[in-house]
């Protein structure tokens, strides 16, 4: 009888076991929710305090300064690389509207693009448009990293066009390999949607924003005969005018070909 009584208690204990586990699990979940709500309340209070700005603003500055550092990396004139050379203002190709690349020329365009990338890296640039090497075709190359070891980030676009863009703009500092030693503040669309063709004839559709959108818009301008100095505020344009005059005086081509 005693054995039978102990067996009954064991059965009841085994029945109570799962209920205890379920109750403990519910208690843990309830405690987690309470801690989460309390943590959110503390975080909201911290973010509302003036001291929180000193914590988060430096992080934002680091991100922005890394972009500026890439964009303001000192450019150099490497001379002739892979048979190409960067033309300087006021070379007439910088003011000419470029023609579309014909499908029959896609193969040749890829060869030129590869040479342009080699030249771009040697010049410490992040982008280059065909008019900058004296070729008035709608071809651009860029690499937002500006490093040839980051070749997976290379972009080659034929006949690109902007199909949509943000209403808002951002102002950022820009320079140009065709305007050595100069820079200025330029407003660009925050994001853009583009269509282009690859050197293999495939349609490319992309949305670029931020730093990459700025690079694209800068190079795209070149294809229409627009240069970054056209976007500068009057006072900045006036500041760089002496440097522009030096480039004009140093231009080796016929003066009749100058396009300001």
Catalytically annotated residues: 219
Q: Which pair of tokens denotes residue 160?
A: 């690109």
Measured CA distances, 50 to 39, 46, 253 (Å): 19, 8, 60
Q: Residues of 60-73 as b/e, b for ≥16 C-beta within 10 angstroms?
A: eeeeeeeeeeebee
> Please, are residues 190 and 210 in contact by the beta-carbon 8 Å criterion?
yes
**Residue with the two structure tokens 């690079």:** 215
> Please, are residues 208 and 195 in contact by the beta-carbon 8 Å criterion?
no
Cα 162–Cα 164–Cα 169 angle in degrees, nearest 5: 95
Return d(Cα 218, Cα 183) in angstroms, integer: 13
* Long-range Cβ contact pairs of 75-79 (< 8 A, separation 24 or more): 75/123, 75/124, 75/125, 75/175, 75/177, 75/180, 76/122, 76/123, 76/124, 77/123, 77/180, 78/119, 78/122, 78/123
Return d(Cα 124, Cα 143) in angstroms, integer: 11
């Amino acid at each position: 009888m005693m054995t039978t009584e102990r067996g009954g208690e064991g059965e009841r204990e085994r029945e109570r076991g799962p209920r205890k586990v379920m109750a403990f699990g519910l208690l843990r979940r309830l405690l987690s929710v309470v801690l989460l709500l309390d943590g959110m309340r503390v975080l909201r209070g911290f973010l509302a305090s003036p001291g929180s700005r000193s914590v988060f603003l430096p992080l934002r500055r680091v991100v922005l300064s890394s972009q500026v550092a890439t964009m303001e990396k000192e450019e150099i004139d490497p001379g002739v690389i892979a048979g190409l050379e960067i033309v300087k203002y006021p070379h007439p190709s910088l003011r000419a509207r470029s023609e579309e690349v014909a499908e029959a020329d896609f193969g040749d365009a890829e060869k030129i693009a590869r040479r342009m990338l080699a030249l771009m890296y040697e010049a410490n640039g992040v982008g280059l448009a065909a008019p900058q090497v004296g070729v008035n075709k709608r071809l651009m190359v860029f690499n937002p990293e500006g490093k040839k070891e980051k070749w997976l980030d290379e972009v080659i676009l034929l006949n690109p066009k902007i199909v949509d863009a943000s209403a808002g703009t951002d102002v950022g500092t820009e320079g140009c390999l065709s305007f050595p030693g100069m820079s200025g503040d330029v407003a660009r669309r925050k994001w853009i949607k583009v269509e282009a063709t690859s050197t293999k004839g495939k349609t490319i559709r992309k949305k670029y924003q931020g730093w990459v959108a700025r690079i694209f818009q800068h190079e795209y301008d070149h294809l229409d005969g627009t240069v970054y100095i056209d976007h500068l505020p009057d006072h900045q344009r006036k500041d760089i005018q002496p440097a522009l005059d030096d480039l004009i005086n140093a231009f080796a081509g016929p003066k009749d070909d100058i396009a300001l």
